[in-house]
Amino acid sequence: MDDVRGKVDDMTGKRSMKELLVGTYDMKYLCKPVFPYFRKSKGVPPPMFFGKDDFLGLFVALVMGLQHALAMVGGLITPPLLISNLAFGTRPGTNPPVPYSSGNPADTQRYLVQASLIVCGIMTFFQVLGVRIWKTNFQFGAGILSCMGVSFTTVPIATSVIGQLMKEQGHTFEEAYGMFLGTIAMCAVIPAILSFFPIRIIKKIFPPIVCGITIMMIGVHLIGAGFKNWGGGAFCADNWQHPPAPKTCYLPATYTNGTSYLQQSTQCWVGPGIKCGDPTKTEVFLPFGSQEYLGLGFLVFVTIIVLEIFGSPFMRNASVILALLFGYFIAAVTNYQGKKYVITNKIDQAPGITFLWTTTFPLGFYSPAIIPLMIVFIITSIETVGDTAATLEASRMQVNTEDGTRRIKGALLNDGISGIFSALATSLPLTTFAQNNGVISLTNVAARQAGFAAAFWLFLLGILGKVGAWITTIPECVLGGMTTFLFANVIASGIKIIINGDPLTRRSRFILACSLALAFGVELVPQWATLNLWPVTPGMSPGLRGLRDAIILVISTSFTLGAVVALILNLIIPADANANTCTTKALGLPEGADSGKLDGVDSSHDASGCEACEPLPPVKMITGGLEPVPTVEVTRDNAVDANTDRV
């Protein structure tokens, strides 16, 4: 009780009203733009570091929390927007057209966006809180400034599964999405189970090269979705030609003797076909890839680059959402031949306040999605371990200690519980977000008060119905310019994991080449695995059909195929025989020394292949007094960027 009273006194009683409200943070550093090409100094020096339990002040905490929320919100709204776009299509061959959605797809899209924000706000609160489990050495949540966000890794599986259920089995979007949610709730126990295993065992089975390949291929897959939106929309991108039209046209043909001629036909393909545009949010309908669409998306993309070069730390951390807002503003104030790019009917009709379960989906189960989702949750678990360790380092806390291990396992447990809760709350599964690590490093603030404020902002944005409706009115081309950048960051994150986690020895390069060969091949030519590899026969039993669908889903999805191949090859290909010798030479150790037994030496990576090893310079032994270590001034030039995946 005395400890609690002391903490309360520290928070309130010993501070002036100005400190309680404003705090002591240097807002000049946070908000002042820079001009790197015209300055002689190194910029404004960063403020003092605020640790996990340091006091910020109400205003500063809200500003820092808003910064974390804005750094995340672009990534949070993208998955539900991509998934809900499937509800806007119509079943082919129906006249009049029969929509995939049994309700209003615009309302469904708005709800899914807001549900994602609400769930992220709730679970971020528990992640930052870090509750110790009674009479155990475990905890629920990391207890540090670590935020939860919607995982991109489930988007390719979701679009494939939901599309298959709607097109091949006749389900509505609501039914297909409910079946996917039920399957997620079953598979989300994997991170919770892994949280009770030693971290070294998880890393041993799933090394960085496996995780890096998977994450990189997820980004490659999603880049296509970003470019489709950039060109005007996914539906018109997939249907840019007209269906066969009953009109006279001439098609190239060849006689039996090889002579070419033009054959008259009554049906032909003519383009451009279906025009882009949703009548509920725009008056402009143009063919896919029109100059106007590409220009608006390019404006968003260039704005992100400009903010990265000239922006203040706050603007750089929130560059994605600020660029999105700027692109939306330009689209809203301009028109095409007197027609508006943005109309606000959705905003006018949206409720003022909303919450979870105002729209529901019938929960079901789709067994073929189990294996791909298990791979997804294993990969996100490995990501969570790395992201939480990076957050601990950015917070200037020890990683390889009992406290650090407990916090990492608490984040894993929170990932599992969040996955189950989000599925029951009609949202896609969550995972620990890495963007916030860059914000911590750039602002020198690791205080949990900023994390609680970020949870507050996310929850507030989620319950305000007008906000969700505004998000659904963003033109696809504007959204595409932003999401293309986000998905490219996913690719960069995967490459960074591969490079930092494992030296590119002959063994690693072989695994990388085999995995990427199949993964990129399936990504570029998906019908390679879906047409005749295992065709469906009329007498196929339901059990065999489910097994067939599961295997085809794994093989036809680039990142799951790449992950499986990398995992198998990593287990069966032996390490190079000269791995230990090379590592010993690289570390400057005597022959026969075991580098794995040295304190402070990370020998978890495979340093095999002397071609990749460079001997380190000799270390001078200090026999006298220790010289002072020069301090390094952290400026905008050497601070960690908010868009990088790791510190």
Question: Tens of pLDDT along 478-516?
Answer: 999 999 998 998 898 888 888 887 778 889 999 999 999
Question: Tens of pLDDT along 270-320?
Answer: 555 678 888 888 999 998 889 999 999 999 999 999 998 888 888 888 888
> With left for phi above 0 and alpha for psi between -120 and 50, is residue 363 left, alpha or beta?
beta
Question: Distance between CA 551 and CA 372 in Å, rounded?
Answer: 9
8 A C-beta contact, residue 54 and residue 447? yes
Please tell me which residue, 260 or 91, carries the higher pLDDT value: 91
How much is the pLDDT for 419? 94
Question: Tens of pLDDT along 619-640?
Answer: 444 444 444 444 444 444 444 4
Q: Token pair 């119905």 is at which residue? A: 465
Question: Tens of pLDDT along 69-121?
Answer: 988 888 899 999 999 989 988 887 777 888 899 989 989 999 999 999 999 99
Question: Distance between CA 612 and CA 616 in Å, rounded?
Answer: 12
Q: Which amino acid is at 277?
A: G
Please tell me which residue, 421 or 206, carries the higher pLDDT value: 421
Please tell me which residue, 414 or 275, carries the higher pLDDT value: 414
Please tell me which residue, 218 or 257, carries the higher pLDDT value: 218
User: From the CB of residue 642, how many other CB atoms can be counted at a distance below 10 Å?
Assistant: 27
Q: Token pair 């098609």 is at which residue? A: 251
Is the predicted pLDDT of residue 563 greater than 70, yes or no? yes
Backbone angles phi and psi of 521, in degrees to 5? -60, -45
Question: Distance between CA 395 and CA 569 in Å, rounded?
Answer: 36
> With left for phi above 0 and alpha for psi between -120 and 50, is residue 423 left, alpha or beta?
alpha
Q: Which amino acid is at 234?
A: A
How much is the pLDDT for 302? 96
Between 208-230 and 476-501, two packed helices, what is the crossing angle to 10 degrees? 160
8 A C-beta contact, residue 148 and residue 191? no
For the chain, the average pLDDT equals 81
**DSSP H or E run through 238:** helix 234-238
Is the predicted pLDDT of residue 268 greater than 90, yes or no? no
% the chain with pLDDT above 70 = 80
**Structure-token pair, residue 550:** 């599961």
Question: Distance between CA 297 and CA 482 in Å, rounded?
Answer: 7
Cite the DSSP H helix spans in 444-541. 448-463, 465-472, 476-501, 506-524, 527-530
In the predicted model, what is the mean pLDDT of residues 306-335?
91
How much is the pLDDT for 616? 43
Question: Tens of pLDDT along 429-483?
Answer: 999 887 788 788 878 889 999 999 999 999 999 999 999 999 999 999 999 999 9
Between 370-394 and 558-572, two packed helices, what is the crossing angle to 10 degrees? 80
How much is the pLDDT for 340? 92
